[in-house]
Amino acid sequence: MLTRQRDAYLAHVAVERGLSPNTVAAYRRDLDRYCAFLASRACDDLADVAREDVAEFAQAVSTGADGGRALAPASASRTVVAVRGWHRFAVLEGWTQADPSAQVKPRAIPKRLPKAISTDDVARILGQAGVGDGIAPLRDRALLELVYATGARISEAVGLDVDDVELAPGEETVLLRGKGRKERIVPVGGYAVEALDAYLVRARTAFAQSGAGTPALFLNTRGGRLSRQSAWAILRTAAERAGVEDVSPHTLRHSFATHLLTGGADVRVVQELLGHASVTTTQIYTLVTRDTLREVYAATHPRAR
C-alpha cells in the first residue's frame, strides 16, 4: 500500500505541481527511506502512521538512528518537507482522516550568506571561458556570459531552447523556466548578446551536425543538450584558469544579484529577475551589500572609528 501511495504522490508533484526531475528524484529517495522506516515498524499504510512515527523519523534522518546516513541540516529539512507533503496529499485524497505530520517541523537551517565574487573576478572567469581553439570556447563563453547576465540557474540555462532567446536589437531577452516551471522573461546585456550571436553563427551549427536535431540552445559534442554537470565543469575549469577559488554552480547567479543591489537596483526587481517566489529569499543578498557598505564606510569616513 505504501508503495502505491508514494508513487501517486510523486506523480502528483511531477505533473500537477511541475517540480523538476531532480527534485522529484530527491523526494523519491526521501520517501523510500521513510517507507523503510515505517516498514520496520510493521506499518504498511499511511492511515496507520502516528505523530510519534513522523517525529522519530525526522530525528533519525539527522542522526542516522534508522541505519541510514545522517543527513546535513538542509537535506534533513527537505526530507521532512517531502514527508509532510505526502501526508497532506493523503488527507486530500481521502486516504487518511488526519495529518500526523502537521506538528512536526523541518529542522531549522542556519542562514548562510551566498557566495559572491567581485566584478573583476567575474570578468576573468568569463574571459578564460573563451580561451582555446575550436568551437567549444565559443559555447562556453556564451553559456557563462548568459548565466551572469541574467542570473539564471545552471539548470535553467542548459534547459533553454533556441526559440527561448530573442537577440533582435531592442528586444534582447531570454525566457527562463525556474522552479515549478514558472516562467520569467529577463533582459540580456550586450556582452552576452555578442557571445550568444558568435556561438549561434559559428559554433552551434557545427555541434548540431553530430546530433538528431534537438532544439536545445547549448549543445554538447554529440549534438545533444548540454548537461548540468557539463555546464558546471565548464564554469569550474574557467575559474581555475582565472585563479578564482571557491566557485560553485550558483556563484555567477549570486554575483549577479549582489552586483545589481550594490549598484542600486530595487530588491523587488532583483526578486523578479531571479524568479524568487518571496522577496524574503532575495533579501539575504541585501546583507551582503550591507556588509560591503559598512566596510567602505569604515575605510573611508574620517569619523568612522
Q: Which residues are catalytic?
A: 153, 179, 250, 253, 276, 285
Is 81 within 8 Å of 49 (Cβ atoms)?
no
Angle at 229 between CA 131 and CA 31, to 5 degrees: 165
CA distance 266 to 281: 14
Nine-digit cell string for 104? 512536526
Single-letter residue type at 272: E
CA distance 294 to 7: 51
Backbone angles phi, psi at 76, to 5 degrees: -65, -40
Pair type for strands 173-177 and 165-166: antiparallel
Burial of 201 (0-12, 13-18, 19+ CB in 10 A): exposed
Whole-number CA gyration radius for the chain: 23
Angle at 189 between CA 186 and CA 190, to 5 degrees: 150
DSSP 163: G
Nine-digit cell string for 227? 548537461
CA distance 170 to 40: 62
10 Å Cβ neighbour count for 3? 11
Q: Spell out the long-range contacts of 206-212 with Cβ–Cβ below 8 A and sequence spacing 24 or more.
A: 206/135, 207/135, 207/139
